[in-house]
Amino acid sequence: MAATPGCSGVSCFGGVGGPWPQGMRVGLLDSTLREGEQTPGVSFTVEQKLEIARLLDEIGVAMIEAGHPSVAPDVREAVRRIIGLKRDGVIRRAEIIAHSRAVRGDIEEAASLGPDRVAIFYGVSDVHLRYKHRRSREEALSIIGEMVEYARQHGVRVRFTAEDATRADYGFLVEVVRTARDAGADRVSIADTVGVATPYGLRRLIEGLRRDAPGVEFDIHAHNDLGMAVANSLAAAEAGASIIHVTVGGLGERAGIAPLEAVAVAIKRHYGVDVVDLRGVVRLARLVERYSGVPITPLAPVVGENVFTHKAGVHVAGVLSNPETYEAFPPEWVGRSRDYTIDKYTGRRALRARLERLGVSVSDEELAEILRRIKERSDARWLRDEDLLEIAEEVTGRALRLRPPEHIEALVTVRCDSNVYTTSVARRLSLIPGVEEVIEVTGENDILLRLRARNPVELNRVVEAIRSVRGVQSTYTMLVLRKLGSGDTGAGEKNAISS
């Protein structure tokens, strides 16, 4: 295979399922509220669904599959209220979809809520027809046509989902698509229901269906049972599928479907198309993680904790020179930043960069000794900044860590009455036991005090004594949490406790 002239790397040889497409028109349908809630152990409240739907619209998904109203009363209520958000202008862009079986009662209930679209599904593979529906192919075509037409009579747009399409006979699948189209469906979703498709096969399938059953738009709904959901979704988009079904974090039945965050970044990375505002995907992922109870693995693409954290010394040195050496896309795309671990794999360059970030300067000899001691701790998975500073202190003999004070210490700002002499007030304050230092300052306040006490009761007595001094109008007290070095009198961190 000849490479494309003027390019470099594997991208010269084409996209996911074949040659690069000339252009791509694609959007995302998020099914977190429908497919995502089919994840074992996941059940969102109505309010949680509303919050997720608002954020999905905020980042710019093209469609939101709000749920299957006939499943349960709370699902129906969530779908109703999400449709209400669209009607009231809270959800501004996303098309709201209600899910339905190919059953009149389901269709009536879904359409009665006033969604932008009803999505009707029916299994079309021989295994589904024989063991689930117990229908012949001819009977299935009749049901599909009748139910799509029935939904259209209710004044809503219709998407037909060909469930298990990737295991269906191709000739029959073409008939299914034509039947749904002729009955009034303007979209047909090709579902890789058990995740067995390959990118090459899916691209050829979508290309064939667009050729043999024109006049309808195609979605791709790719399950992740073999880890192929993202690749299969991209291959279908390369072939002309204009909507990719995703869920936040890849939630869904069994191994889930294509994760929104990975698909969105891949489309930008490979095709230069912004399908959502990527800066919002991390916040969205964290929200769904909290509500679903399904933790984000550190290795999860785009949103996992480790995605922009580098370990090996050679890798870190490369990233410090040019992040493109070991990053597929910049973390700024998704509002993140890069980092690297300190452990036995760390090199000199990474160590010096981390120390400088902590405000610590060391000689070459000290750096070498710190690195040697780090590598001796081979049982440590990684060293925290506190651990690193401890080693650096041992090597340099300098106090580098912020230390909590042995006694309770506080800083108190004092505002004086406008008709008193500030210096006279300062002198009276300096006589109070526990007041270590008195400083007259400029600004909104007039005096800064540094206090020391043995316990909270004693500290409170000192503060009350300060407030009782004639000429003191108001005070604001801040506890000293840590200080840099044993002799430093400044506050490293403060916590306000009274005013």
Give the chain's largest Cα–Cα span: 101
Please tell me whether residue 214 adopts helix, strand or coil conformation: coil
The residue ranking higher by pLDDT, 185 or 10, is 185
Distance between CA 126 and CA 34 in Å, rounded?
26
Average pLDDT over residues 465-486: 84
pLDDT digits (tens, 9 = 90+) for 343-377: 888 889 889 988 888 888 999 999 999 999 989 88
pLDDT digits (tens, 9 = 90+) for 168-195: 999 999 999 999 999 999 999 999 999 9
| Collapsed DSSP state (helix, strand, coil) of residue 145 | helix
DSSP 60-92: T-SEEEEE-TTS-HHHHHHHHHHHHHHHTTSS-
Cβ-contact 316, 310 below 8 angstroms: yes
Rounded Cα–Cα distance for residues 161 and 279 (Å): 31
CB 150, CB 185: distance < 8 Å: no
pLDDT of residue 406: 67
Chain segment 75-93, per-residue pLDDT in tens: 999 999 999 999 999 999 9
pLDDT at 499 over 50: no
What is the reported pLDDT for 22?
Answer: 82
* pLDDT of the residue at 30: 98
pTM: 0.79
- The answer to which of 57-61, 307-311, 446-450 has the lowest mean pLDDT is 307-311
pLDDT digits (tens, 9 = 90+) for 194-209: 999 999 999 999 999 9
Contact between residue 66 and residue 82 where contact means Cβ atoms under 8 Å apart: yes
Active site residues: 315
What is the SS3 assignment for 1?
coil
**What confidence score (pLDDT) does residue 491 get?**
38
**Can you tell me the distance from the alpha carbon of 54 to that of 49, in angstroms, rounded to the nearest whole number?**
9
pLDDT band (50, 70, 90) for residue 317: confident
The predicted-structure confidence for 106-148, as pLDDT tens digits, reads as follows: 999 999 999 999 999 999 999 999 999 999 999 999 999 999 9
Expressed in angstroms, the distance from the first to the final Cα of the chain is 75
Residue 213: is its pLDDT beyond 70?
A: yes
Which residues lie closer than 8 Å to 380 by C-beta, 6 or more apart? 343, 344, 387
Which residue ranges form the domains of the chain, and what is each CATH number?
21-292 (3.20.20.70), 309-400 (4.10.430.20), 403-498 (3.30.70.920)
Q: Which amino acid is at 441?
A: V
Q: Are 234 and 15 in contact (CB under 8 A)?
A: yes
Q: Distance between CA 438 and CA 461 in Å, rounded?
A: 17
Task: Give the span between the Cα atoms of 293 and 248, in whole angstroms.
Answer: 13
Q: What CA–CA distance (Å, rounded) separates 433 from 455?
A: 14
* Residue pair 99/77 in contact by the 8 Å Cβ criterion: no
CB neighbour class for 412 (10 Å; exposed up to 12, middle 13-18, buried from 19): buried
